[in-house]
């Protein structure tokens, strides 16, 4: 048969594998506590992905990094988890940190504005801004860590998920090499700032 | 002396495949059904703290260019064997968890810094890690034969995991972005370790 009578399927091969992986992905029965190694990782991995405020800020870190160019593009995703872990430790240890939710919302506002206006401060200023906000995000993750979760895999899960969100931001930010992409990324910054304002003034429910 | 890539190519993948081989069922190992030896082999992979340490060590050794596993493995292999033998004396049943996590934290931080390191520093970290990992892999009960099988498996598992990570990582250290990726992974290990330390101290 020629290729016309036997056309190639439209879906790539990896799509089938993705479906299979999703099918195998376990869901939690509501009566069960999330205990053990796998549940700890799942719980930690999902945690940053369940809050729009976290997602917006993490993606903004990646987008801003691209606008700042090398080495900031890579320094920020290295700095953020390290400082976030400090905040996370405070949360785990029960050390109170005032204004955590406000800090998280502000991080989306400030980082979104920085992306929207393509602000390019010196690297140390950018690292200081990102690092300051990382403490609030880390504290929220640490304080909300389920008692039953395996500490090691929970921590690794949420660090990896956070890092992947940064990488997503960087990947999206690479559109700046085209003029239309630069505009699109800046519009993305506006959207992120808007989300931040939403959480800050409670017109987006937390 | 550098370990020849051809030698590594022969034994590491084969040994890695051995990890996946099924054996007759046994209900007395940490992993039901895999037997004493393979239960031991899989032990480092099923203990998150151990895996974090091994991941840190593997990345630390593997990111060095050119790859030179002689010193890390020359330190790791005998010291881990010694520590595993020491567990049979019953003097040490487990290692204080923050010690293990601190080793992962240091390894992760050294990776995140991205600076070339003297072999002595890497070797010293491998010695400390091998000793801690070995001591923390005690077999609680069983016959002398089953304990011996489990400890042998654990020893092989520890070596394989760290050597495999280092060896395969060495293929992806040429490009700048790959080196940056390894540094990012190091920062993730450090961050996770820091959090786990806090959790351990809270308890």
Give the model confidence (pLDDT) of A39-57 as tens digits.
Answer: 778 888 888 888 898 899 9
Closest CA relative to residue A123, chosen from A168, A78, A170: A78
Domain that holds residue B95: 34-202
Disruptive mutation site among B198, B201, B202, B203 for chain A (greatest number of A CBs within 10 Å):
B198
B198/A93 CB distance under 8 A: yes
Pick the range with the lowest mean pLDDT from B15-19, B33-37, B113-117, B133-137. Answer: B15-19
Domain for residue B95, yes or no?
yes
Give the model confidence (pLDDT) of A57-112 as tens digits.
Answer: 999 999 998 888 878 888 888 888 889 989 988 988 888 889 899 999 999 999 99
Closest CA relative to residue A111, chosen from A197, A203, A204, A202: A197
Residue A103 to residue A93: CA distance in whole angstroms: 19
The two structure tokens encoding residue B51: 């895996």
Beta-carbon contacts of residue A70 (< 8 Å; ≥ 6 apart): none
Residue B175's pLDDT band, with cuts at 50, 70 and 90, is confident
Angle at A49 (CA atoms; ends A47, A50), nearest 5 degrees: 70
Residue A57 to residue A103: CA distance in whole angstroms: 11
Q: Tokens 């959790």 identify what position?
A: B199
**C-alpha A188 chain-centroid distance:** 14
The two structure tokens encoding residue B64: 């060095």
Q: Which of A142, A145, A159 sits opposite B188 (nearest CB)?
A: A159
State residue A29's pLDDT score: 41
Q: Which of A94, A153, A160 sits opposite B188 (nearest CB)?
A: A160
Residue A149 dihedral angles phi and psi, to the nearest 5°:
-70, 150
Q: Using CA coordinates, name the residue in chain B closest to A163.
A: B188
Question: Is residue B164's pLDDT more than 60?
Answer: yes
Closest-CA distance, B72 to chain A, in angstroms, reads: 25
Domain for residue B147, yes or no?
yes
Residue B42, chain A, CB below 8 Å: the answer is no
Domain for residue B29, yes or no?
no
A151/B199 CB distance under 8 A: yes
Domain for residue B160, yes or no?
yes
Give the model confidence (pLDDT) of B118-155 as tens digits.
Answer: 889 999 999 999 999 999 998 888 888 999 999 999 99
Domain for residue B118, yes or no?
yes
Provide mean pLDDT across the span A181-199. Answer: 92
The two structure tokens encoding residue B72: 């890390």
Could you tell me how many CB contacts below 8 A there are between chain A and chain B?
81
B48-to-A87, A168, B52, B168, B183 alpha-carbon distances in Å? 22, 26, 6, 21, 21
Task: State yes or no: cis peptide before B203, omega within 30 of 0.
Answer: no
Identify whether the C-beta of residue A160 lies closer than 8 Å to the C-beta of residue B188: yes
Domain for residue B54, yes or no?
yes
Task: State yes or no: cis peptide before B28, omega within 30 of 0.
Answer: no
Closest-CA distance, A151 to chain B, in angstroms, reads: 6
Domain for residue B23, yes or no?
no
Question: Is residue A196's pLDDT more than 90?
Answer: yes
Angle at B41 (CA atoms; ends B141, B125), nearest 5 degrees: 100
A74/B180 CB distance under 8 A: yes
Number of domains in chain B: 1
Residue A27 to residue B163: CA distance in whole angstroms: 35
Residue A110 to residue A121: CA distance in whole angstroms: 13
The B residues from 86 to 115 touching A (CB cutoff 8 Å) are 101, 112
Domain for residue B44, yes or no?
yes
Closest CA relative to residue A165, chosen from A40, A42, A63: A63
Residue A138 to residue A58: CA distance in whole angstroms: 12
């Amino acid at each position: 048969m020629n290729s016309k009578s036997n056309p190639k399927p439209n879906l790539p091969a990896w799509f089938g594998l993705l479906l299979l992986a999703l099918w195998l992905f376990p869901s939690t029965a509501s009566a069960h506590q999330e205990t053990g190694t796998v549940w700890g990782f799942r719980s930690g991995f999902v945690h940053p992905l369940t809050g729009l405020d976290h997602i917006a800020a993490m993606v903004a870190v990646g987008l801003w990094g691209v606008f700042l160019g090398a080495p900031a593009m890579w320094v920020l995703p290295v700095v953020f988890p390290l400082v976030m872990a400090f905040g996370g430790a405070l949360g785990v240890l029960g050390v109170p940190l005032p204004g955590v939710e406000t800090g998280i919302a502000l991080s989306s506002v400030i980082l979104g504005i920085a992306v929207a206006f393509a602000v390019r401060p010196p690297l140390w200023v950018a690292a200081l801004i990102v690092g300051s906000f990382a403490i609030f995000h880390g504290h929220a993750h640490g304080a909300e860590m389920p008692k039953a979760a395996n500490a090691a895999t929970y921590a690794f899960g949420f660090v990896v998920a956070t890092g992947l969100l940064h990488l997503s931001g960087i990947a999206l930010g690479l559109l700046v090499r085209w003029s239309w992409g630069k505009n699109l990324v800046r519009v993305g910054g506006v959207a992120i700032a808007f989300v931040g304002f939403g959480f800050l003034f409670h017109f987006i429910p937390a | 002396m550098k370990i020849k890539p051809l030698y590594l190519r022969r034994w590491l993948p084969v040994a890695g495949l051995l990890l996946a081989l099924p054996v007759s069922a046994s209900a007395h190992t940490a992993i039901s059904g895999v037997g004493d030896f393979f239960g031991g082999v899989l032990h480092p992979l099923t203990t998150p703290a151990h895996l974090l340490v091994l991941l840190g060590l593997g990345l630390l050794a593997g990111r060095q260019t050119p790859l030179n596993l002689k010193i890390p493995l020359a330190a790791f292999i005998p010291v881990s064997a010694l520590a595993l033998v020491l567990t049979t004396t019953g003097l040490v049943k487990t290692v204080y968890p923050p010690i293990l996590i601190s080793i992962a934290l240091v390894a992760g931080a050294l990776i995140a810094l991205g600076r070339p390191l003297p072999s002595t520093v890497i070797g010293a970290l491998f010695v400390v890690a091998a000793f801690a990992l070995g001591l923390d892999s005690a077999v609680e009960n069983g016959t002398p034969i089953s304990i011996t099988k489990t400890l042998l498996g654990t020893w092989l598992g520890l070596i394989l995991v760290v050597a495999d990570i280092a060896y395969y990582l060495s293929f992806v250290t040429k490009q700048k972005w790959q080196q940056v990726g390894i540094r990012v992974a190091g920062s993730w290990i450090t961050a996770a370790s820091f959090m786990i330390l806090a959790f351990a101290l809270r308890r």
